[in-house]
C-alpha cells in the first residue's frame, strides 16, 4: 500500500516517481526503448533483469549520470515537479567511499556537509549501531574494510540523507547470509519513508524482499502482477518474461 501524506494545502497524496517515454541508446543499440512507469512511496520494487539488460543504465539515467535520448521523469507530490539531486540516493554495486578516512571521520564529514538535509540527526555511534557496525570497526580506515563493509557504509550515508528515492544496484550480493538478512530487515523498516528500487538478477532475493516485481527485458519495463498465482507459477511467469526470443 502506498504511504499517503498531506501537502501544504492539506490534500492527501501518494508520492510517486513518474517516468514517461524514457529512452536511452548507445550508438545503434536501444537499451531503454520506451519506459513508462510509476513507482510509489512505501514500497520496495524488485527490478529484475538478465545481466546486461540495462538495469544500471536505467539507474544512471534517473540519477542523471547519463543523458537520456528521450522522455522525462518527475516526482508527483499531488503535482509534478522536476527531480532534484537531493531526491535520489544511489547505492552502487561497487562501493565508492573515501578510503583515506576512517569510518567515523567519513560519517562526521558527511553529516557536517549535509546538515540541512538530515531530518532527525542522531549521534555517529547511533548510526553505526543502526547499521550494525561493530565498535572495533568504527575507527578503522575504510581502505581496510571488506567489500561488504564498504557497501554498508555507502548504504548508511544514503539512508542518513533520507532521499525520497533510493536506487539500490545489487547491494546485497557482497554480504554473507546473516548480514544480508539484517540488511533486508533494515530496508523493510525504512520503506515507508522512501521509494525503493532494488536491482538484482537473483529472483529468490527479489521475491523474499520486495513488494512489487518489475522486469526490464528487451528495453521495456513491465510489472509482473502476482494476482492469484501460487509462488511456483509466479516464478515461472518471471522466468518466461526474462527469456530471450
DSSP letters, 38-74, are EEETT-EEEEE--TTSSHHHHHHHHTTSS--SEEEEE
pLDDT at position 229? 55
Cell numbers placing 192: 515507508
Angstrom distance (rounded) from CA 69 to CA 62: 12
Q: Report, in this order, helix, strand and coil percent for the chain, each rounded to 5.
A: 35, 30, 35
In the DSSP assignment, the letter for residue 141 is B
pLDDT at position 32? 94
Within 10 A of 38 (CB to CB), how many other CB atoms are there?
13
pLDDT at position 6? 67
pLDDT at position 23? 96
Say how many domains are in the chain.
Answer: 1
pLDDT at position 110? 95
Range of the domain at 121: 4-242
Give the H or E element holding residue 240: helix 231-242
Angstrom distance (rounded) from CA 186 to CA 130: 8
Q: What is the pLDDT along the chain (245 residues), one digit of tens a residue?
A: 676 666 666 667 789 999 999 999 998 889 999 999 999 999 999 999 888 889 999 999 999 999 999 999 999 988 899 999 999 999 988 888 999 999 999 999 999 999 888 888 899 999 999 999 999 999 999 999 999 899 999 999 999 998 999 999 988 877 888 888 988 999 999 999 999 999 988 888 888 899 999 999 889 998 987 765 567 777 777 777 777 54
Q: What is the pTM of this model?
A: 0.89
- CA 206 vs. chain centroid, Å, equals 13
Q: Which CATH number does the domain housing residue 163 bear?
A: 3.40.50.300
pLDDT at position 3? 65
Angstrom distance (rounded) from CA 37 to CA 142: 38
Cell numbers 523493510 correspond to what residue? Answer: 188
3-state secondary structure of 112: helix
Amino acid at each position: 500500500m502506498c504511504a499517503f501524506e498531506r501537502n501544504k494545502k492539506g490534500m492527501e497524496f501518494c508520492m510517486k516517481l513518474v517516468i514517461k517515454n524514457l529512452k536511452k541508446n548507445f550508438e545503434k543499440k536501444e537499451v531503454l526503448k520506451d519506459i513508462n512507469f510509476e513507482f510509489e512511496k512505501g514500497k520496495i520494487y524488485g527490478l529484475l533483469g538478465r545481466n546486461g539488460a540495462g538495469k544500471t543504465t536505467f539507474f544512471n539515467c534517473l540519477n542523471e549520470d547519463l543523458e537520456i535520448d528521450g522522455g522525462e521523469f518527475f516526482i508527483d507530490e499531488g503535482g509534478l515537479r522536476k527531480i532534484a539531486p537531493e531526491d535520489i540516493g544511489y547505492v552502487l554495486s561497487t562501493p565508492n567511499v573515501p578510503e583515506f578516512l576512517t569510518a567515523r571521520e567519513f560519517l562526521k564529514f558527511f553529516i557536517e556537509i549535509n546538515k540541512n538535509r538530515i531530518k532527525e540527526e542522531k549521534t555517529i555511534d547511533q548510526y553505526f549501531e543502526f547499521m550494525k557496525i561493530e565498535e572495533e570497526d568504527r575507527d578503522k580506515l575504510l581502505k581496510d574494510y571488506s567489500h561488504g563493509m564498504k557497501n554498508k557504509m555507502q548504504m548508511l550515508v544514503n539512508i542518513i540523507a533520507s532521499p525520497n528515492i533510493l536506487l539500490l544496484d545489487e547491494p546485497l550480493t557482497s554480504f554473507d547470509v546473516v548480514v544480508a538478512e539484517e540488511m533486508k530487515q533494515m530496508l523493510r523498516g525504512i520503506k515507508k519513508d522512501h521509494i525503493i528500487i532494488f536491482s538484482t538478477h537473483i529472483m529468490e532475493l527479489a521475491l523474499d524482499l520486495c513488494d512489487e516485481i518489475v522486469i526490464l527485458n528487451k528495453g521495456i519495463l513491465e510489472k509482473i502482477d502476482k494476482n492469484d498465482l501460487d509462488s511456483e507459477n509466479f516464478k515461472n511467469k518471471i522466468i518466461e518474461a526474462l527469456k530471450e526470443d
